Structure 1
């Protein structure tokens, strides 16, 4: 499976083309719109979320509520485009046009502006920031929604929640099911399972906003129902944890990833890290603990996947940092684009999407999948086989 996204933050629309889904899989626009709506929520979001009410248009690959096996094209309109038609239009401009005079020459620290301008030779850094914007994650969530639909039909379910924002850490004192995590996190403005921590997180976000600053945090994605042995140990580029790690850090502003107890493993003995194996007629092979987050040797263990990602504070600040004008080389305060003071809750939804895509892709690669009915049958047989191994 693979997908390609295109579109700029203030362009007319965002598009993604998905390839590799089996034919005959049920799919509707509601499946995708639900995820797009979730991405737009969260305490700390900026004015852009009040402008854009993201919904998807499916232009290919679906007929009468089911996939055809051909590429699926998803389109999300940018409602704000009407205010940017001259600045972002495709037609050439006259040399003295106001839009040329308004070019951006002051790269913002923490963004792709300067590096991208140097790499591609752009003297107007809007050419960089429009594509490097987190607005692109809209269609990544749309792609992930299709992957989540496939996984759910195979008995694999995903949830996410926020475990930390701005140094405020959530306490999780009990084991919760996927459905419980989904219900509690959806009801929280910061997608946190700890109500007391939720209130403190919102205060931290408001405080950062009032100071013209931003804060980051940590999100966790949990997946239940993955069969044992998805992925591979035989080549580095087929290891599932490697693919998941790459997917997480590919999200805008994400700078770290860990599985299970993650970096804490560096401070423990081996006996405190590895998960002992058990077997029963009812469940087959299980682990007595899940410190490694459901992954060993680049493959799933059958235990829940536990993946965390670290999001840095958004670099667009209302008390901007110093920068250097690429034309005059003079020091200036970095230019300001509309921004959020904290996008961690929304980023949890994006993390779900990219994890879902990698898991669905790994399953489609491993099992016969031209038809959804065939894939479902093979997955069911495989689960029985691994239980009796």
Structure 2
């Protein structure tokens, strides 16, 4: 499985092509749209979410509610494009107009300057339009197809917020994946701990009033992954490493943890490693889940727990100092339309990029040309390892 995305933030449309989805898997447009609409919600989102109503069109690879096994292509139209035709259109414009619209002032914390240096763009709009988090729209769309596949295989994936600006949600014990989804989806900040919900919203509002931005921590929780997916044999096939890479590829994410993550450095081994138990119904399982469902680069059958750290969005209404690349003169960085806090929305993005990596790992390990063959292979494997 793999996918490629295309499109600019204010261009005509966003596109993705997904390859490797098994044939004859049930898939509806509503499966994808539900995820896209979740990505647009969350306290602290900016005006762009009021302009764009992200709904997908399936343009290939699906017929009469089932996948064909051929590449699936998806598009989302940018409704805002009509106001940006003269800026983002593909046709040439006269030199005076081009000079007037050139962006030469890089914003700290963005890809603007580094991208200009890499590709030689004197107009940094060529960088900022593609490096925008708008691109995650199609990553969520691709992940929604992966989530659909996982759900049909008995694997549930849910993302939510653990922390915003130092305000931490308490650990909630005894909740399964579906309960976590229902609680977080009803929360304006996608948090499981109702007691910190208002405090988080107040903090987001204060950051907006101050012209500032705040970050936080997201968590993705996965139930139903069988043990032994991934590999201990080769470093580049370790599934926990792939999940960490996927999390770090999300815009503004600066760290990833599996299970208790960095907290393991502050504990003794006896407090970290999960004791192994067995019973006839569950097969092998762990007394605790400090390692977040992974040992040796492979799943161990316990729930997978992955955290991601999102920095504050770097587009501020109290701009930081930068340097004009043409004049080399200092200036205060320009303001683009932005969110004061995108952590709730980022938890949805993280949920979907993690889901894609899990689905990909399954299709690499089990026969997956046909969905019914894949499902049968997973069911047989689960039964095999239960009584191993």
Please state which band the TM-score falls in when normalised by the shorter chain.
over 0.9
The separation in 2 between residues aligned to 1:192 and 1:273, in whole angstroms, is: 26
Which residue is equivalent to 1:66?
A: 66
Deviations 1:330-361 (A, max 9, x none): 00011111100000000000000000000000
The separation in 1 between residues aligned to 2:273 and 2:128, in whole angstroms, is: 43
Which residue is equivalent to 1:76?
A: 76
Q: Offset at 1:209?
A: 0.3
| Structure 1: stretches of 5+ with no match in the other structure | none
Q: Offset at 1:161?
A: 1.3
Which residue is equivalent to 1:378?
A: 377
Which residue is equivalent to 1:235?
A: 234
Q: Where does 1:245-260 land on structure 2 (aligned, <5 Å)?
A: 245-260=244-259
Which residue is equivalent to 1:116?
A: 115
SS for the counterpart of 2:134 is helix
Q: Which moved more, 1:177-186 or 1:219-228?
A: 177-186
Which residue is equivalent to 1:301?
A: 300
The separation in 2 between residues aligned to 1:250 and 1:85, in whole angstroms, is: 30
The separation in 1 between residues aligned to 2:380 and 2:177, in whole angstroms, is: 24
The separation in 2 between residues aligned to 1:195 and 1:273, in whole angstroms, is: 29
Check the 8 A contact 2:24/2:68 in 1, yes or no.
yes
The separation in 1 between residues aligned to 2:211 and 2:159, in whole angstroms, is: 28
Which residue is equivalent to 1:184?
A: 183
The separation in 2 between residues aligned to 1:193 and 1:268, in whole angstroms, is: 26
Q: Offset at 1:160?
A: 1.5
Deviations 1:100-128 (A, max 9, x none): 31211010000000000000000000000
Deviations 1:57-100 (A, max 9, x none): 00000000000000000000000000000100101111112x43
Which residue is equivalent to 2:159?
A: 160
Q: Offset at 1:174?
A: 2.6
SS for the counterpart of 1:86 is helix
The separation in 2 between residues aligned to 1:309 and 1:137, in whole angstroms, is: 15
Which residue is equivalent to 1:5?
A: 5
Which residue is equivalent to 2:331?
A: 332
Which residue is equivalent to 1:31?
A: 31
Q: Offset at 1:388?
A: 1.3
Which residue is equivalent to 1:221?
A: 220
Which residue is equivalent to 1:128?
A: 127
The separation in 1 between residues aligned to 2:306 and 2:54, in whole angstroms, is: 27
Q: Where does 1:277-356 land on structure 2 (aligned, <5 Å)?
A: 277-356=276-355
Q: What's the TM-score, normalizing by structure 1?
A: 0.99
Check the 8 A contact 2:172/2:193 in 1, yes or no.
no
The separation in 2 between residues aligned to 1:369 and 1:153, in whole angstroms, is: 13
Which residue is equivalent to 1:139?
A: 138
Which residue is equivalent to 2:51?
A: 51
The separation in 1 between residues aligned to 2:130 and 2:178, in whole angstroms, is: 35
Check the 8 A contact 2:172/2:192 in 1, yes or no.
no
Q: Which moved more, 1:173-182 or 1:2-11?
A: 173-182
SS for the counterpart of 1:306 is strand
SS for the counterpart of 2:87 is coil
Which residue is equivalent to 1:22?
A: 22
Which residue is equivalent to 1:363?
A: 362
Which residue is equivalent to 2:194?
A: 195
The separation in 1 between residues aligned to 2:225 and 2:334, in whole angstroms, is: 45
The separation in 2 between residues aligned to 1:27 and 1:174, in whole angstroms, is: 33
The separation in 1 between residues aligned to 2:343 and 2:91, in whole angstroms, is: 37
The separation in 1 between residues aligned to 2:303 and 2:350, in whole angstroms, is: 16
Q: Offset at 1:173?
A: 4.1
The separation in 2 between residues aligned to 1:173 and 1:134, in whole angstroms, is: 30
